[in-house]
Every structure is written in structure tokens, then in C-alpha cells.
């Protein structure tokens, strides 16, 4: 298990509905379970030798970083997380439900849109842990390289190349969007073309389509607790999924 789920139903529902969780207003440094604001120009020494991995969903949030890396201490736990803007892409919902009941995020090309993401600067020792939490046994995400991009990093130089986890399931289609993906309203974007929705609204799309006789909270809890039911739901979502499109992406690990 990559990280432990809470035991109570109330805590499970808060976790499921809270995705992608609160991200700071700017760049920060995570260390020993705490986050410290990074101000001014980004020091080259802070990111030297680290792998820039785009965080477009929950990995933007200190609380999710802590769930994944909270077991580390001292310099081994240190992760710079820099705010950035990615051009010609948007952050949209993946066509799958996570083991904790959320509909997670993925990237999709969106010419003319500029979306706010973060970059987690990981050491070679930290990267396998992130792979474990993103890919693990289920293989919901593939890890790879994005090339020829315009990624403006706060306080630092723009990046033309970075790494990212993308959903292998494609994008959740917007029931009002005629084949377009549904964007995450919680993630800021400029000139967004896709309709945005919060997590609860996105989960409601799943309920209405696949569990119309269940209350929303009951549907979420049932899919968290019943792995086979959640697997069937993910399979059903593939029938209407929008194939993801991220030009310049090279898959390296799945």
C-alpha cells in the first residue's frame, strides 16, 4: 500500500472530495513534514541534480507530499516545489477513480490555454517512491518526458523539457462538452476552453452514469471499499473516455 487510508467513513469522504487539495499561493520547500515559502529568485543549488516532475493534481499540495514522503527525515525529505505555468495544456479529470475515491487529474493539450502547475524537484533517491505512489501495482499512470514545452517556473528559468505522470485511462468526458474533457476548476488557468468542475461535481457525473440509484456518498464509499466494483467502474468509464493528447510526450515507465 503506497500510503494508508483513514479508517472512518467521514475521513474517507473528506479525502475523496478534497482532491486535488489546497496548494500554496507560491513556491515552497517541503522538509520534515513542513512547508516553507520560497521567495525571490530560485537558487540553482536548490534544484541542482534533481529531476523536474510536473505536478498537475494532488502532488501540488503539501498534505499529499507529506502522505508520500512523511516517513523521511532531514535532507532526505527535502523537496523544492515550484509554481509554474504550462502553455497550450490544461489539467483535466482522468477517466478513472482512485483507491481513495477521487477522480484524479491528468494533462491534455489545449492550444491557447495557460494552466498553473507545480514542479516537484525530486532526487534520484526520491523518484522511486513517487513511482510507487503513482504507478504502483495498478499502473493508472505512465511516467515519461515532455519535450518542446513552454513551462515558466516561478523565480527560475523556463523549462523546455520536464517529466510527468499521465493517466493511462484517458480523460473523463464532459457530459455537456460534446466529446471534450472536463477540467479541474480548482486548478487556475488562463483562457480555459474546457468546462471546469469541482471534485464533487465530477464524482456526480460518475454517479449519474454508473450508479444512478445510489446516493453520492454511498457510491464513493462503496467504490473505495470494493476493489472489484471500482475496477468495473473504471472499465465502464473507458467507453466514453477522451483519448489523452500531449504532444511531445515520451513514455518511459508504466
Tell me the pLDDT tens digit for each residue of 61-86.
999 999 999 999 999 999 999 999 99
Name the burial class of residue 227, with classes exposed (0-12), middle (13-18) and buried (19+) by CB atoms within 10 angstroms of its CB.
exposed
Phi, psi of 232 (to 5 degrees): -65, -35
Q: What is the mean pLDDT of the chain?
A: 95
Q: Is the pLDDT of residue 2 over 90?
A: no
Long-range contacts of 39-42 (CB under 8 A, 24+ apart): 39/155, 40/155, 41/155, 41/156, 42/80, 42/82, 42/153, 42/154, 42/155, 42/156
Distances, alpha carbon 32 to alpha carbons 18, 72, 97, in Å: 23, 7, 30
DSSP string, 103-127: EEEEEEEEEEEEEEEEEEEE-TTTH
Q: How far apart are CA 43 and CA 28, in angstroms?
A: 12
**What domains can be seen in the chain, in order of their start residue?**
9-253 (3.10.490.10)
Mean pLDDT within 11-28: 97
* Beta carbons within 8 Å of 134's beta carbon, 6+ residues apart: 140, 141, 143, 165
Query: Does residue 28 sit in helix, strand or coil?
Result: strand
Q: Are strands 159-167 and 51-55 parallel, antiparallel or unpaired?
A: parallel
Q: Is the pLDDT of residue 170 over 60?
A: yes
How large a percentage of the chain has pLDDT more than 90? Answer: 93
219-240 per-position pLDDT tens digit: 999 999 999 999 999 999 988 9
End-to-end CA distance of the chain: 17
Q: How far apart are CA 241 and CA 218, in angstroms?
A: 24
Amino acid at each position: 500500500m503506497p500510503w494508508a487510508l483513514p479508517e472512518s467513513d467521514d475521513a474517507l469522504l473528506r479525502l475523496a472530495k478534497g482532491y486535488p487539495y489546497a496548494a500554496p499561493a507560491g513556491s515552497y520547500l517541503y522538509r520534515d513534514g513542513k512547508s516553507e515559502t520560497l521567495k525571490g529568485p530560485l537558487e540553482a543549488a536548490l534544484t541542482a541534480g534533481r529531476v523536474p516532475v510536473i505536478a498537475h493534481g494532488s502532488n501540488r499540495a503539501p498534505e499529499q507530499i507529506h502522505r508520500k514522503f512523511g516517513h523521511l527525515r532531514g535532507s532526505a525529505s527535502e523537496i523544492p516545489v515550484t509554481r509554474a505555468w504550462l502553455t497550450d495544456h490544461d489539467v483535466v479529470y482522468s477517466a478513472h477513480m482512485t483507491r481513495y475515491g477521487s477522480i484524479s487529474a491528468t494533462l491534455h493539450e489545449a492550444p491557447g490555454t495557460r494552466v498553473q502547475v507545480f514542479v516537484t524537484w525530486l532526487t534520484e533517491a526520491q523518484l522511486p517512491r513517487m513511482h510507487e505512489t503513482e504507478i504502483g501495482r495498478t499502473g493508472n499512470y505512465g511516467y515519461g518526458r515532455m519535450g518542446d514545452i513552454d513551462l515558466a517556473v516561478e523565480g527560475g528559468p523556463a523549462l523546455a523539457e520536464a517529466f510527468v505522470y499521465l493517466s493511462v485511462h484517458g480523460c473523463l468526458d464532459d457530459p455537456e462538452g460534446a466529446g471534450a474533457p472536463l477540467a479541474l476548476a480548482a486548478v487556475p488557468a488562463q483562457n480555459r476552453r474546457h468546462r471546469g468542475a469541482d471534485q464533487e461535481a465530477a464524482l456526480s457525473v460518475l454517479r449519474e452514469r454508473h450508479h444512478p440509484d445510489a446516493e453520492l456518498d454511498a457510491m464513493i464509499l462503496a467504490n473505495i471499499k470494493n476493489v472489484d466494483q471500482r475496477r468495473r467502474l473504471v472499465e465502464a468509464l473507458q467507453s466514453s473516455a477522451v483519448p489523452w493528447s500531449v504532444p511531445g510526450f515520451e513514455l518511459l515507465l508504466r
